[in-house]
Amino acid sequence: MKIKKKKIRIAILASNVITIPPFPPEKNVPEGWSGAPELVVHYLTEELVRRGHYVTLFASGDSKTKAKLVSVNRKSSWNLNKLSEHVDFEYLLISKVYQMAKKGYFDIIHSHFDIRSAHFAALSDTPTLSTLHSQLKKERVDILKHYKRTQYYASISNNQRKPLPDLRYAITAYNGVNTKEIPFSEKKEDYIVFAGRIHPSKGVKEAIEVAKKSKTKLYIFGSNNAQEDYWMKEIKPNIDGKLVNYMGMVSRSEIFKYLKSAKAFVFPLQWEEPFGLVAVEAMTCGTPVITFNRGSMPEIVKHNETGFIVKSVNEMSKSLEKIDDIDPRACRKHVEENFTSEKMVDRYEKAYHKILNK
């Protein structure tokens, strides 16, 4: 249901680190990062512009958008030699937003810095809505508990709120995808896919165990830090180019080529994932998701309808035996009804109006 209300002057505060959108990811996304939040910011910004809002995107100078672009550096800053320089650019960009807000440029600021914008929000009469893109770990909670009321917050799943349930939440806005960009296929081949950061929290090692137990070919997509012990000890020795195949960080179109024909997307999470955009992308392709009951997964995957929520690697492996019971069309329909970029923006528009009406 579309919301027909007045047009809003919106500042979208992104980051200098990765371009908006983060394409091509193999060039614009550093090792150990996913680019998923930046992709969500891109979808959000362009849809708000399409709906006629007056949108200003604060991002790196090499970003591409139909909104007005304001930047403090010509190129994304992830490859700067010193971390301190990267942080300085972030605060410079945030400061720029609030300087312009002080002059009356915006009705609302939508920040994608959960903590950093909190330091500034109380100093401005322009309200700030901050999307929490990351898990609320203890160190983040310890800071944000001092800023519970200085800005509004958007969670990207209900589960994400648990460590800090009394923030001033305006809405839960599930991340959305552009379904027009993602191919669909009912025809499946005898292999599985894992895509994400090569990190213990994502369960790459467990995905390899699933492949071995089920004797099913696995394709792994994602960036890795070749110097880390996890890659060298747990992942690299298992890559044989036959059963277990590492494809690296490639374009989304290349991932979708494999994902749409996979019999399943395996996502054996080892942490409380606040959302999991790649699981939505898999279902958009018509590919069932097999995952653990962690974080947002029960909110995203419909057990026995768009995949399986299981408790162990053994269960994950056995689930492949009944994967043909899942209708690829049901997977795609579930995304179209709940996780499109249009539905995401509907939720954010609702939050903007709710905040401004106060």
CATH number at residue 210: 3.40.50.2000
Q: pLDDT tens digit string along 323-332? A: 999 999 999 9
Residue 21 sits in the same domain as residue 145: yes
Per-residue pLDDT, 349: 97
Please tell me the distance from the alpha carbon of residue 208 to that of residue 216, in angstroms, as a whole number: 10
Residue 326 sits in the same domain as residue 194: yes
Q: Global pTM? A: 0.92
Residue 3 pLDDT level (bands cut at 50, 70, 90): very low
Residue 283 sits in the same domain as residue 218: yes
Residue 331 sits in the same domain as residue 292: yes
Residue 156 sits in the same domain as residue 146: yes
Please tell me the distance from the alpha carbon of residue 184 to that of residue 195, in angstroms, as a whole number: 17
Q: Which domain holds residue 251?
A: 179-338
Residue 90 sits in the same domain as residue 196: no
- Domain membership of residue 1 (yes or no) is no
Residue 203 sits in the same domain as residue 131: no
- Domain membership of residue 4 (yes or no) is no
Per-residue pLDDT, 83: 54
Per-residue pLDDT, 48: 98
Residue 19 sits in the same domain as residue 68: yes
- Domain membership of residue 147 (yes or no) is yes
Taking the CA of residue 321 as centre, how many other CA atoms within 13 Å lie in the half-sphere pointing to its CB?
7
- Domain membership of residue 272 (yes or no) is yes
Residue 62 sits in the same domain as residue 186: no
Residue 166 sits in the same domain as residue 199: no
